[in-house]
Structure 1
Amino acid sequence: MVSDTNRPASHRLVSPRLRSNARSLRRRMTEAERRLWWGLRHRRIEGFRFRRQVPIEGFIADFACHEARLIIEVDGATHSTTKEMSYDRERESRLRMCGYDVLHIWNREIYDDLGGVLETIRLRLARNSTPHPNPPPLRGRE
């Protein structure tokens, strides 16, 4: 086991329980999250690196690009209840206070138009930061 003093500062600030929950969520991603992750992973959008199920400020963000300070939340039916909407507003407010932009995407949007969702994310990334100076080549394309 690695001692807390040997971990990066960002890891020391995350409780073991929250870290465990994030790991569990990575193993049990929803179908919509899996589809979106396929489009975000390996720096596929302009060279930006995304992480999935990331503990930030006591919450777990579905996807986060720290470089562009962008969090993407994939919302399903449970996010339409009054209680969940209130929780989402509180969480989004705290994340924005930490300098993150939060983009909400509905499951249905991912299923119906993944390309359009990825383009929306690309545009938000472009608005939030400068592009990666050396994006990796696209695999399988010339």
Structure 2
Amino acid sequence: MSNKIHNHKYLEEYRKALRKNSTSAEAALWTFLQKKKLEGRKFRRQHSIKNYIVDFYCASEKLIIELDGAYHLDSAQQNYDCERTKDLNELGFEVLRFENKLVFENIANVLEEISNHFKG
């Protein structure tokens, strides 16, 4: 797949700002994903695909991890999330969504669920 959909230059400053100001759930999950800690898979955080900035992305697995805070309970946001996931799925990516509280309450299950989506 062409890299023309990845990390558009015009989103670079925004991606950097998001990395610098991650949510507590993102920071917590990142400690388990960074430096290939999860089964040797390399994850990137705040990676852009098309016009979307995803929380975590594993290129070798074409896997996207999204963490959802309270604002994702809003029906308009849920509709947007659904369309965004559909668009990313159509590009060949798999999107996993977790509520922020799961990262704090049951990180082992979150990591197992992510690992279960690794192809090999």
Matched, 1:112 2:98: no
Amino acid at match of 2:90: M
For residue 22 of structure 1, report the CA deviation from its aligned partner.
Answer: 0.8
Distance 1:96 1:118 in 2: 21
Give 5+ residue unaligned stretches, structure 1: 1-8, 131-142
- SS across alignment from 2:56: strand
Say what the alpha-carbon RMSD is for the aligned residues: 1.8
Give the distance between the partners of 1:113 and 1:53, measured in 2 at CA.
Answer: 23
List alignment gaps of at least 5 residues for structure 2: none
> What's the offset of the Cα at 1:10?
4.2
User: C-alpha distance in 2, partners of 1:123/1:72?
Assistant: 13
Give deviations 1:9-49, integer Å, cap 9, x for gaps. 54886142x22111110000000000000010111111110
Q: Map 1:20-35 to 2 at 5 A.
A: 20-35=13-28
Number of residue pairs aligned between Structure 1 and Structure 2: 119
2:52 paired residue number:
59
What residue identity is the alignment partner of 1:69?
Answer: K
State TM-score, norm by structure 2.
0.92
Distance 2:84 2:102 in 1: 22
Corresponding residue number in structure 2 for 1:82? 75
- Say whether residues 1:14 and 2:8 are aligned partners: yes
> 1:120 Cα shift?
1.1
- Sort the Cα spacing of 1:50 and 1:12 in 2 relative to 1 into closer, same or farther, 3 A: closer
**% of aligned pairs identical?**
35
Query: What residue is the counterpart of 2:40 in the other structure?
Result: 47
**In the aligned structure 2, how far is the partner of 1:53 from the partner of 1:91?**
15
User: Using the alignment, how far apart are the partners of 1:113 and 1:70 within structure 2?
Assistant: 20
Normalised to the residue count of structure 1, the TM-score between the two structures is: 0.78
Structure with greater helix share of residues:
2
Q: Judge conservation of contact 2:7–2:49 (CA < 8 Å) in 1.
A: no
User: What are the superposed Cα offsets for residues 54-101 of structure 1, whole Å, 9 maximum, x if unpaired?
Assistant: 011110000000110100000010001011001101111111011000
Whether the 8 Å CA contact 2:6–2:49 is kept in 1: the answer is: no
Structure 1 87/116 Cα, relative in aligned 2: closer, same or farther at 3 Å?
same
- Alignment partner of 1:97 is 2:90: yes
Q: Residue type matched to 1:57 in 2?
A: K
CA distance in 2: counterparts of 1:92 and 1:116, whole angstroms: 22
